Amino acid sequence: MADDDRVAVKTYVPRYQKERWQAQADALEMSQSEFVRTMVQAGRQEFEIPSDQSKTGPSAGTESATDDEFADRILEVLDRKGVLGWDDLVEALVDDVEADLDAELQRLQDENTIRYSGRDGGYVLTTDD
């Protein structure tokens, strides 16, 4: 199988989450699949998982700048929203990433660095034209 062959990935989320993702995808004029792919990639870039799988907790080894940034985001969300359970904390962090992504995509489009291409089904560098 070639690296660019497409394969299905299946996950299960609560109905309200799927509906929220669909509404956000519609607002961005994206398919739900493209929206989920974009959010996963954005999340992977923002919250890089350490490659040392032998860590057993946050105090194991030296924290990276990404770990510190992620911890700061968690603290900021809790400070802003108060007590949150796991699902609410995840949702708040995802909402923050989505807002950051939206703002950054807008800035890059304003600078003419990227553009949304319906033909290509996503964002492309303007240097590819």
Domain ranges within the chain, ordered by starting residue = 15-48+64-128
Determine the residue type at 95. Answer: D
pLDDT at residue 23 is higher than 70: yes
Tell me what the mean pLDDT of segment 27-48 comes to: 75
46-84 per-position pLDDT tens digit: 554 444 444 444 444 445 556 677 788 888 888 888 999
Please check the confidence at residue 91 and state whether its pLDDT lies above 70.
yes
3-state DSSP: the chain helix, strand, coil percent, rounded to 5?
55, 5, 35
Convert the pLDDT of each residue in 109-122 to its tens digit.
999 999 998 888 89
